Structure 1
Amino acid sequence: MAAGEAKSVLFVCLGNICRSPIAESVFRKLVTDGNLENKWMIDSGAVSDWNVGRSPDARALSCLRTHGIGTTHKARQITKDDFLTFDYILCMDESNLRDLKRKSSHIKNCKAKIELLGSYDPQNQLIIEDPYYGNDEDFETVFEQCLRCCKAFLEKPH
């Protein structure tokens, strides 16, 4: 990465209240801990518009707090501009990937590389399952997956 050349990443899930805000918060902490804040622009968003303006799920917030991570994120839906401005759009499952690829196919000069966040998992768990209908343990699983994937993503050359 050339000096002064910041990279950008957008984490995406269905509603932007569980998985993607956890991934965003985890990545932001890794970047902060590594003193790389000036190298990354980080955000998260949703494929759907269901939760626009809402805070993350209380269980997601609780899980992050357990790990000493806070967030002030409010859910938002991805926009056409996101495909033009972000270097990476990392999503959580096959359904997100299909929706994002479909949306990006209608955007001229799409800059974003659209991938599954799980493609960076050293344990090869490709899909990060939606914990919304699950329990606290499911949110912890999402956190652990996001942590592994975000570390591996951050360590790769960009």
Structure 2
Amino acid sequence: MAKRGVLMVCLGNICRSPIAEAVFQHVIKERGLEDKWFVDSAATSSEHIGSDPDPRASACIKRHGIVYKHKTRRLTADDYRKFDFIFGMDKSNLSNIKRIAPADGKAEIGLLGDYHPKGKTIIHDPWYDSDDKGFEECYEKALASVNAFLDQHQ
């Protein structure tokens, strides 16, 4: 069976989607599912293309023992054909993802938080926060959602 792909998407690909990507990579490794899944992340905007994730996002990922490297990139038409699932972090991301979707895309589009076991569907953008609390909350929501997603799609 071919590997299935998940693409995490947020506005700039510097906070939420890199955290969600790193979490997904970590969880599939822990579960021994690396031969069944692949993951990446992207932005709906081109503002930060080629940048590293926000230092607060990188610090959050590192605090949880996850090794992760990423350069931001923009969502492309090919992503809709390459990935089986494309997940936005909030309703604005979701609207943008759907708006630019090509007619021949195969990806199932939704919110990563739709899988959150306590119904916490929106993953707030912590970029505007003055501290690290929002990044930790993003990590926790991504972890709960990724685990629930994988429980449903094994």
Normalised-by-shorter TM-score class: over 0.9
Could you say which residue in structure 2 is the equivalent of 1:40? 37
Distance in 1 of aligned mates of 2:14 and 2:32:
27
Q: 2:117 aligns with which of 111, 114, 122?
A: 122
**Structure 1 residue ranges without an equivalent (≥5):** none
Is 1:153 the equivalent of 2:153? no
How far is 1:85 from its partner? 1.2
Q: Deviations over 1:4-25 (max 9, x none)?
A: 3211000000000000000000
Secondary structure of the 2:127 match is: coil
Any residues of structure 2 matched to 1:75-90 within 5 Å, and which? 75-90=72-87
Q: In the alignment, is the contact (CA less than 8 A) between 1:61 and 1:70 conserved in 2?
A: no
Distance in 1 of aligned mates of 2:146 and 2:153:
13
Q: Deviations over 1:81-134 (max 9, x none)?
A: 001111000110000011111101xx1211010000010000111100000011
Could you say which residue in structure 1 is the equivalent of 2:26? 29
1:89 maps to a residue whose letter is I
Q: In the alignment, is the contact (CA less than 8 A) between 1:18 and 1:130 conserved in 2?
A: yes
Any residues of structure 2 matched to 1:64-103 within 5 Å, and which? 64-103=61-100
Distance in 2 of aligned mates of 1:145 and 1:36:
21
Secondary structure of the 1:9 match is: strand
Runs ≥4 residues deviating over 2 A: none
How far is 1:157 from its partner? 2.5
Q: Identity rate of aligned residues, in percent?
A: 46
Is 1:55 the equivalent of 2:15? no
Q: Deviations over 1:43-84 (max 9, x none)?
A: 000000111111100000111111001211110001010011
Secondary structure of the 1:49 match is: coil
Q: In the alignment, is the contact (CA less than 8 A) between 2:25 and 2:38 conserved in 1?
A: no
TM-score by length of 1: 0.94
TM-score by length of 2: 0.97
Secondary structure of the 2:126 match is: coil
**Structure 2 residue ranges without an equivalent (≥5):** none
Could you say which residue in structure 2 is the equivalent of 1:136? 132
Could you say which residue in structure 1 is the equivalent of 2:4? 7
Q: In the alignment, is the contact (CA less than 8 A) between 2:86 and 2:107 conserved in 1?
A: yes
Give the aligned CA root-mean-square deviation in angstroms.
0.9
